[in-house]
Structures are given as structure tokens and as C-alpha cells.
Amino acid sequence: MTSITKYIIIAILAIFASNAAAQDSIPKSKEQSIKTLKENIKNEEKEALKIEVEAINQQVTEKKITYGQAENLKEIAAKKRALNIENRILILENKLAFYERNNLPTPIDENGNLKGKEYDLFFKDLNSVNSFTGVTVVNPEKKKIKYDTRTTFELSYAGGFNNAIVDGGSLNDSPYDIQDSEFWEIGLNWKTRLGVSGNAPRIKYGLTFQTNRYSLEDNKIFVQNGNTTTLEPFSENLKLAELRITNLVIPFYFEFGKMRKIEKTDYVRYVNDGKFKFGVGGFAGLRTGTMQKLKYKQDGDRVKEKIKRNYNTNPIVYGVGAYIGVGDISLYAKYDISKTFKNDALEQNNISLGIRLDFD
């Protein structure tokens, strides 16, 4: 073998040796880069999940969603991120297999990052998905009706004519001026629908302040003598004589009639707007005050008296009531089963008729 041939063989062997060394070093570098890439994928998804959970917790703090809804959303987010990790690693492995199968140069650059137009485009889109600026957490119940409130709050007002049935007689036997005697009441009520639909009966309950006013006729006033209260003539010419009794009661009514349904994207309401309704029930409570008011002239002077005594009125009041109407306006009547005065020869039960307004 000539010296030239020897040199050629030595050169060829050297080239093969260097290629073998390079091939041994590349897999080690490639294996480490792949491992790092997989760890980066896991870390990115974990960080994204952390931010998403923080956004869910913020919605709970702002009372936009309940604690139970938040736990459900967190579970959905965790499953999504786990699938993201699985899919992204699979995409990485498939890309590496594609390059190796087609004898293409490894897609890992000198910095240990994947290169390649298709892969770059995919992760560009993925970065947009993982951008959490102004995150909006999707509520899985958004397409459903969020709630149907069966109990609603309302303000009620009523006023009209007031009188009394005395000794079991008729209103014509009453000692009070029918046209000038009046009542009024104002209350805070809750109304609870007993069924699912707007046709279901409702119960109405709350707290009501009542005033029953009696305008006396025939120049008479109430006189209290110990445990007895009587109607007696007054010595002067009265311009005004009235008895005013105030009560604080708890009303309780059953209400019937259709309701109009208002349906929005996140709630349902049932209202009485323009719908027929009627209610029957009653009330019970306590007397809070009794006062007699007198106006007259004495020796040329105008005299105005407000006498606050109990006049032996009953401390406990209870009765029945009913109303019928359309929408917020109703014709309203109530009757006191309890006697106005206790232990008196004058037995009377209050009766009222007027208009009732319910603002729900």
C-alpha cells in the first residue's frame, strides 16, 4: 500500500470517527432539550391555571358567582390544562418523529428551542389562548336561567272609609260620621309564590302600621271612668271630636290570580302588572296608641285638645280582610273580630273599606 493510499484511509477513518462522536453528542443534547421543552410546557399550563383560578376567586369575592359554581369552574379549568399538557407534549413528540422519519435536521435550535414554521404558528395561537389580560371566566350556567326568585318584597298602602258596627247593629246605628271617619295603613310585605308557574297561589305577609279614625256625631265625646268608657254629651259646641287608634299588626293573606312572566337572560320574574288578583286572609297585632282630639270654642277662645289615654281599648287586635283588583290597585276591606273596647257596655267592631296599592 502506497503512502498516498495510507493517508486517504486514515483521513476517511478520521472523518467517520468525528461523525460518530458528533452523533453521540447530539442525542445527549437533543434528549436534554426535549426534556426541558416538556417541563416548560407543564410550567406554562400550571401558571395559566393559577391565573385562571385567581380570576375565578375574584368573581366569588365580587359575588358574581357562588362558591359551588367556583369549585365547578376550577375543576373544569384543571381538566382543560391537563389535556393541554397532554396534547402539547404529543404535538412535540409527533413533530420530532416526523423530522426523524424523513431524515430531516433536528428541529431543535442551538438554544434548545423547537424551530419550524408550523410549530411556531401553533404556539403563536396558543400564546393568545394563554394571554390572561382581562380574563373572563365562562360560567357553565350562563345559558341557563340563573334564578327564579319566588319571594319578592313590596310596599303596600291602603286608605278609605272607616266606621264600626256597634252592639251587633248596622252602620246606620253607628255614633260616627260615615263620611268623615277614615282609615289608612302602610306596610312592608313579602310575597312568596307557592308553585313554579305564575298561576300558583301566593302567601303575603309582613308588618303593617294601621290608623283607625272615628269622627263622633251629636256633640258627644268619649269619657273614661276607671275601667269604663262611655259616650257622653260635651258642654261646649264641638267643631271636631275624633278618636284615633293606631295598631301595629302582622298581616297574612293568600293571593290568587295569574301573573305576568318577565324572562331575561339571567333571571325570571312574575309580576301582577295588568293581571286580575284577589286575596283573603287576616291580621293580628298590638294597639300602639289611643288619642281623642277635640276642637271647640270656650269663652270666645279656640281650644284644641289632644287627650292621650287608653280609653279601655283592647291592647290586642285581630281580624280578617280581603282584596280584589287588577295589577297594583285593589278594592280592600277589613273587619276587626276583636272588640274596640274591652269590658264596656259599648261593644263595637271596626270595619273599613277603601283602596289598596301594592308596589312590587
* CB neighbourhood size of 291 (10 A): 15
Average pLDDT over residues 314-329: 96
Q: Which of 256, 163, 259 is nearest to 203 (CA)?
A: 256
Spatial separation of the C-alpha atoms in residues 221 and 198, rounded to whole Å = 51
- Give residue 347's pLDDT: 86
Spatial separation of the C-alpha atoms in residues 197 and 90, rounded to whole Å = 52
pLDDT single digits (tens) 173-186: 889 998 999 999 99
Which one has a higher pLDDT value, 317 or 117?
317
Give the residue carrying C-alpha cell 256597634.
Answer: 166
pLDDT tier at 110, thresholds 50, 70, 90: low
Beta strands 260-263; 268-271: pairing state: antiparallel
Answer for the pair 49, 56: CB distance below 8 angstroms, yes or no: no
- Give residue 29's pLDDT: 65
* Sequence ranges of the domains in the chain: 11-129, 151-359
Backbone angles phi, psi at 274, to 5 degrees: 70, 10
Query: pTM of whole model > 0.85?
Result: no
> Would the pLDDT of 117 be above 60?
no
Percent of the chain with pLDDT over 90: 41
SS3 state of residue 325: strand
Long-range CB pairs of 143-146 (<8 Å, 24+ gap) are 145/263, 145/266, 145/267, 145/268, 146/266, 146/267
- Give residue 92's pLDDT: 79
pLDDT single digits (tens) 130-182: 544 344 444 444 444 456 788 889 999 999 999 999 887 778 888 999 899 99
Residues 6+ apart with CB under 8 A from 129: none
The residue ranges of DSSP E strands in the chain, in sequence order, are 151-166, 182-193, 202-215, 220-225, 228-233, 238-256, 260-263, 268-271, 276-298, 301-308, 316-326, 329-336, 348-359
pLDDT single digits (tens) 184-205: 999 999 999 998 777 889 999 9
Mean of pLDDT over the chain = 82
